[in-house]
């Protein structure tokens, strides 16, 4: 029971990293865009993409681990 609860918490963490990290990257990109007046599309993809990819990877790892930890059907 403790393992599945821990996996669910890690899954929620991965979701939070993807959503909030992506949003923070987007807001930071917008702030720099308005202050400096120019910021490239590559920076936007990097600032939003890295947290989303990290969070999605964490969720994928948990999904695979849950498959290995699930009880075998009889």
**Which sequence spans correspond to the domains of the chain?**
12-69
Residues 66 and 15: their CA atoms lie apart, in Å, by 16
Is residue 70 pLDDT above 90, yes or no?
no
**Predicted model pTM:** 0.81
Helices assigned H by DSSP within 37-71: 41-69
Residue 37 has what DSSP assignment?
A: S
Residues 14 and 64: their CA atoms lie apart, in Å, by 14
Q: Mean pLDDT throughout 15-33?
A: 93
Instruction: Give pLDDT, residue 1.
Output: 64
CA distances from 16 to 1, 4, 63, 64, 72 (A): 23, 18, 16, 19, 30
Contact between 49 and 18 under an 8 Å Cβ cutoff? The reply is: no
């Amino acid at each position: 029971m403790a393992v599945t609860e821990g996996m669910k918490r890690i899954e929620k963490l991965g979701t939070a990293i993807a959503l909030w990290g992506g949003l923070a990257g987007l807001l930071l990109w917008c702030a720099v865009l308005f202050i400096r007046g120019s910021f490239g599309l590559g920076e936007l993809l990097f600032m939003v993409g890295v947290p989303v990819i990290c969070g999605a990877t964490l969720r994928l790892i948990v999904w695979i681990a849950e498959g290995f930890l699930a009880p075998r059907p009889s």
